[in-house]
Amino acid sequence: MPKIFIDPGHGGKDTGAVGNGLQEKDITLSIALEMQRILQDEYENVSVQLSRKSDTAVPLSQRAAKANRWGADVYLAIHVNAGGGTGYEDYIYEGLSDHSKTARIRDIIHEEVVRATGFRDRGKKKANFYVLRETAMPAVLTENGFVDREEDAEKLKDPAFLQTIARGHVNGLAKAFHLTKKSDANDLIRVIVDGKQIGVYEDKENVLKQVEYYLEKANKIEMERVKR
């Protein structure tokens, strides 16, 4: 059973990046909680732990140590960028080969997040970040848009888009670890606005809420059922 450790960056007094009325700590927690929900609701034989489940401050050393003690198979740190850029990028530890197991997992997640979100691809990078260096398992850190870029911030303010980011990460994990969908799950409903997927939902009420939200913006809304 794959053990997936999800680390929503920052928390508590550590807001992370800020801009356009957004705080990184809130965005990362929303994405991480949605990832946990999808993995537990839709996939068989997978175990998930989070470094935090609320707006609390957790030292980096405790985050890495918790994953190490648990014996996680992968460590996925969720972050949001700042600095005037736009788009998505991710990191693995700088001492690793591009052909390492960690790099292969990162490559799959990278492709799935970019595909799901439509974010500009800023590339696959390496760094000496603490949680990448001090974790005993493959570790990937993702940067999902820029809070100080209006174009990205408008997307990050949308709960449906945060769900799409979460879905992209889970799609990558599912491929990397060959996760199996639950056979008794109900069909999902994919919502497409102007040719771009904005979310995948199980609850029809959630679908209706999102459709109503987008009616003013969208030129075309399509819905189709997809098997889990």
**Catalytic residue numbers, as ranges:** 143
Tokens 């009325």 -> residue: 21
Q: DSSP class of residue 100?
A: S
* Residue 172, φ and ψ in degrees, nearest 5: -65, -45
- Pick from 30, 54, 32, 21: which is nearest to 152 by CA? 21
Helix (H) / strand (E) containing 170:
helix 159-176
Helices first, then strands: H and E counts in the chain = 7, 13
Say how far apart CA 127 and CA 143 lie, in whole Å.
Answer: 13
Say how far apart CA 87 and CA 118 lie, in whole Å.
Answer: 9
